[in-house]
Structures are given as structure tokens and as C-alpha cells.
Amino acid sequence: MQKKLLGLAVASVLAAPGLALAQSSVEVYGTINMSLNRFKYDGGGAPSLSKLDVANHASNYGLRGRESLGGGLTAWFQIEQNAPLERSNNIAITPASRNSAVGIQGGFGNVFMGQWTTPWADLDALWSVGTAGGWGPVTSIIGRRETTGTAPNPNCGNAFAGPCDAVEAAGGVGHPFWRRVSNAVFYQSPVFGGAQVKLAYQTNEGKSVVGTVADPSLWSTSIAWTGMGGRARVGFAYDIHEDFSTPGEKDTGWAVKGGYNLGVVNLGAAYERNEYALSTAVECKATQWGLAVSVPVGAGSVKASYAKAKALEGTGCVAASGIGGAAKTYNVGYEHRFSKRTSVAVGIAEVDNEDGAAFTWTGVPPGPNATGGNGPVLGGDVNTLFVNMTHRF
């Protein structure tokens, strides 16, 4: 009740003067997820570097509400933004920068529009049981081949371009498969026998007829099944991203992810295959896979993951992208749950990059090359010892 009253108060402040708040319920929610880390960078021809860091793992807060419309229909909204608790990074709070949308839900399913994670990315919840403290394969290797190229929309960097969507302009080979999409319409079917279908279409807002002619848009689809009381889960995703890497060409990908909870151990696995059209003549194939395990121990659990990204396959891929080597990552830790809302984790995680690779996790501090941005140099490794605290409200 207190959360609903607080949500009503916040929504009232945000509303334009004189407008009545009609939602039957409005709630404030959020997640604070922070780690104290000892990072070490090594290899790749650069001097070794060790440093301490306080890392923010996608901490967020938001408003969400629902209103019954009668006839089995419900209107809903969500506005969620990042909570950058690392003030030294000078990261601004951007309204609606995370999952934010408005929609209608009924017996036909759920239809909404705005910005949201893709059906492809949603499948990670089925298998990533081995992540402790935010340092796992989902934030480093699985789905993360977008670091191998240049900005996705050909018009993001030329004089003819209008302003590019912040998500599209984030850089990479095509549109990152793991990122949420904006300017998009979504559909989630009802659950039939434990199975659900999800569709997402990102509109071609970036279409151009001058400069580099391009018509970028994407489809993301998935079907997932959960059964046996939630113990068994499996999902398949297929994406088509048009005109992102190369005008007139398509980037495609498919993934299978899932797991099984045996009670004494919870297992997860993922396999994905992406094909990027870096030019009309060069198509690069990327393969990543991962395994995860969680073992209950007292009020917490021991968690571990291992994942590998193969080197890009295809003639001219490394030359075209500038980077395309193999990498592997692992993590192991213990997460103790003090309550449904609060947990603390300790552990170790590492990413080992081979020549031509520079994989790392989201949110790491600057690496040994001060002009090279965050993370290791090509062929370098990064290791972290961490203490993490997560609180949900």
C-alpha cells in the first residue's frame, strides 16, 4: 500500500497541472545492484594493471501502473530509467532509457509499443542461473558480437543523417542482438500449455534517401516453453536485422536457450549463431555457447558459468571488422539471500581473450590503454574479485 501511495504521489507530481490520475494502481519499483571489485588487466602486449572499482549493474527505478477497462481488457504502462550510482562517471539519468512502454492486455495476449528488450534477449532468463554479482556470460560473451564492427546505421556518421536512435547508434556489427529496441511494436501471446510466442518489430525510422540510402528495421521472434512446475524451460529465437551492417543486406541469428532444475542443482545452457553481412561480398558467422549451474546451499547458492565465443568464420571477416578472435569467460561465486529483496554475493570472474578479441563485461572501469576505452586491449585478459549487494524495492 505504501508503494502504491508513493507511486500516486510521484505520478501526480509528474502529471500536467489539472489532469486527473485515472490509473487504478501506480507503483514505484526498482533495483539497486552494486559491486566492489578488484580488477586486473593482463596480456595483449600492454603492461599489467590492477585497480579497485565500484561498479553499477544496471541499477534502475521506475513507475508502472494498470487500469481495468472492462470486458477482460487491461491498459498498462511502464516508465523505467537507469540509476547511475557511479557519480565519477558523470552518467546522466535519462528518462525512459530502459524498458518503457504503453499497452493493452487481454485474452488475445499483450500488445504494446515503446522501448523494450527483444524476444531474443528475454530468453537469457531461461538459462543464466549461474551468474553471481552481475559478472556472467550474458554481460560479456553471449550475444555480444556487436563489438566487432562500426556503427550500425550507415547514416549515423555522415553529414546527411538526422539524429540516430541512441540504441541504434551504440555501435557494433548491425544492431546488437542482446539490446532492447526502441521505436518498436511488441506482441506477447497468452500462455498455452506453458508455451508463449513473442514478436517485436522495430520500425524503419532510420530510412534515408540521401547520403547512404538505407532502410534499417528488424524483427525479433521467440517461442519459449516452461513446464514441470517451472523446473523445465527451453526457448528458441530467430532475428532478422535489415540494412544495419550493409544497406540492402540482412543480419540474421538464431539461438536455443534453456535449463532444468533438478532440485539439488539448477542447470542452464545456451547456443547462438549470428550471421553479419559486413558487405555485399563478406558475410561473417559468429558462434557462442555457454553453460551455467546453481547449487542451493543454506539460505543461498553457489553459482558458476562458463561460455565461449568462437573466432569469426568467413573469408575477409577479420580484415573487414578489425577484430574477430575467440574468447572464453568463467565465473564462480556464492550468493546469500537475506530476504526476497536483499542479497549479497562474493566471487571471481575472468574473460580470456585470444588474439583479435577484446570481450569484457558491461560496466568495467578503463583498461590499461587510456585512449582505448573500457576493458582490455586486443588479446588481453580481465579478471575481477567482487563483493556485490542487490536490493529490490
pLDDT tens, 10-53?
Answer: 444 444 343 444 557 899 999 999 999 999 999 888 889 999 99
- Judge contact between 142 and 307, C-beta under 8 A: yes
Q: What is the pLDDT of residues 52-82, one digit of tens each?
A: 999 888 899 999 999 999 999 999 999 999 8
Confidence of residue 151 (pLDDT cuts 50, 70, 90): very low
User: Cell digits for 373?
Assistant: 576505452
Confidence of residue 336 (pLDDT cuts 50, 70, 90): very high
Q: What is the residue-averaged pLDDT of the chain?
A: 83
pLDDT > 90 in the chain, percent: 54
**Would you report the helix, strand and coil content of the chain in percent, each value rounded to 5?**
10, 50, 40
Q: What is the pLDDT of residues 285-310, one digit of tens each?
A: 889 999 999 999 999 999 999 999 99
CB atoms within 10 A of CB 258: 20
Task: State the sign of the Cα–Cα–Cα–Cα dihedral 356, 236, 30, 132.
Answer: negative
In the predicted structure, residue 104 carries a pLDDT above the cut 70: yes
Q: Which domains does the chain have, with CATH numbers?
A: 2-392 (2.40.160.10)
Which of the pair, 171 or 376, is modelled with greater confidence? 376
Q: How far apart are the first and last CA of the chain?
A: 13
pTM of the model: 0.86
User: CA-based angle 204:117:158, to the nearest 5?
Assistant: 40
Residue 145 is predicted with a pLDDT of 67
- Judge contact between 61 and 29, C-beta under 8 A: yes
Measure the CA–CA gap between 305 and 147, rounded to whole angstroms. Answer: 21
Confidence of residue 184 (pLDDT cuts 50, 70, 90): very high
Among 96-100, 174-178, 278-282, 347-351, name the one with the lowest average pLDDT. 174-178
In the predicted structure, residue 88 carries a pLDDT above the cut 50: yes
